């Protein structure tokens, strides 16, 4: 039997989907928050299935791409 190094994760089922949870120690180590975005790549070979890449500056990217808010119309004075 070959030994695989790394963290063993077991998917959890919520409704009709399976999720891989990130251990809290890794979220702290890699500065992952609930706003962190990942890019999921599917690689099909003998030992690799999913590759998650943390997207750098995703928060900055979102902010600069948001449309500017239009000013609220002022109500006529009565």
20-59 pLDDT per residue, tens = 898 999 899 989 999 999 898 888 887 778 888 888 765 5
Average pLDDT for the chain = 77
What count of other Cβ atoms lies within 10 Å of the Cβ of residue 59?
13
Q: Please say whether the beta carbons of 42 and 50 come within 8 A.
A: yes
Model confidence pTM above 0.75: no
* pLDDT for the residue numbered 64: 52
Q: Is the pLDDT of residue 78 over 60?
A: no
Give yes or no for a contact between 1 and 11, defined as CB atoms under 8 angstroms apart. no
* pLDDT at residue 76 tops 80: no
């Amino acid at each position: 039997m070959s030994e695989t190094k790394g963290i063993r994760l077991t998917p959890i089922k919520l409704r009709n989907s399976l999720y891989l949870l990130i251990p809290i120690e890794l979220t702290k180590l890699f500065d992952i928050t609930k706003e962190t975005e990942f890019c999921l790549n599917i690689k099909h070979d003998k030992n690799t299935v999913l590759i998650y890449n943390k997207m750098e500056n995703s928060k900055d990217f979102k902010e600069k791409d948001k449309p500017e808010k239009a000013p609220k119309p002022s109500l006529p004075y009565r």
